C-alpha cells in the first residue's frame, strides 16, 4: 500500500495518486423516502435527480439502496476537479424540496480517492 502522505513526489506521481493539487473532493448523501412511495414515483425521482440535480450541474452520482432509503457519493464529471460547498448546497436544496424525500443528510467534502 502506498502512503498517501509521503513527500517529495514527482508531479506525475502526484497526478496518478490524486494527491495535493490533483486531489478530488466529493460528498456523501443519505436519504429516506416517504412511506409507501411507488416504484413509478421512485423511477421518476431518480430520472429527475440524475438529470436536473447532477448531470446538468456537472456532477456524477453513484450509490445504491432500497425503496425506503438510499446512499451515494457525488463528485464532479470533470477529471481532477473537486466538488464545492455550492455543489453540496445545490444537492441539499434539491433533495429537501422533493416531495418523495422524507429526510436527507449531506456529508462534508472529503477525498474521493482516500481509503474509507
CB proximity list for 60: less than 8 A, separation 6 or greater:
54, 74, 75, 76, 77
Looking up residue 74, the CATH number of its domain turns out to be 3.30.70.100
Residue 16 lies in a domain: no
Its pTM stands at: 0.86
Total structural domains in the chain? Answer: 1
Which of the pair, 88 or 20, is modelled with greater confidence?
88
Residue 98 lies in a domain: yes
Residue 46 lies in a domain: yes
Residue 63 lies in a domain: yes
Domain housing 62: 24-111
The mean per-residue pLDDT over the stretch 75-79 comes to 95
The mean per-residue pLDDT over the stretch 70-92 comes to 96
Residue 69 lies in a domain: yes
Amino acid at each position: 500500500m502506498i502512503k498517501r502522505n509521503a513527500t517529495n513526489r514527482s508531479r506525475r506521481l502526484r497526478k496518478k495518486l490524486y494527491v495535493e493539487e490533483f486531489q478530488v473532493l466529493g460528498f456523501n448523501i443519505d436519504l429516506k423516502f416517504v412511506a409507501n412511495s411507488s416504484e413509478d414515483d421512485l423511477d421518476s425521482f431518480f430520472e429527475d435527480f440524475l438529470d436536473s440535480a447532477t448531470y446538468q450541474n456537472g456532477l456524477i452520482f453513484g450509490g445504491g439502496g432500497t425503496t425506503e432509503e438510499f446512499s451515494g457519493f457525488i463528485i464532479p464529471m470533470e477529471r481532477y476537479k473537486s466538488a464545492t460547498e455550492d455543489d453540496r448546497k445545490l444537492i441539499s436544496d434539491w433533495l429537501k424540496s422533493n416531495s418523495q424525500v422524507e429526510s436527507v443528510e449531506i456529508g462534508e467534502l472529503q477525498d474521493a480517492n482516500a481509503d474509507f
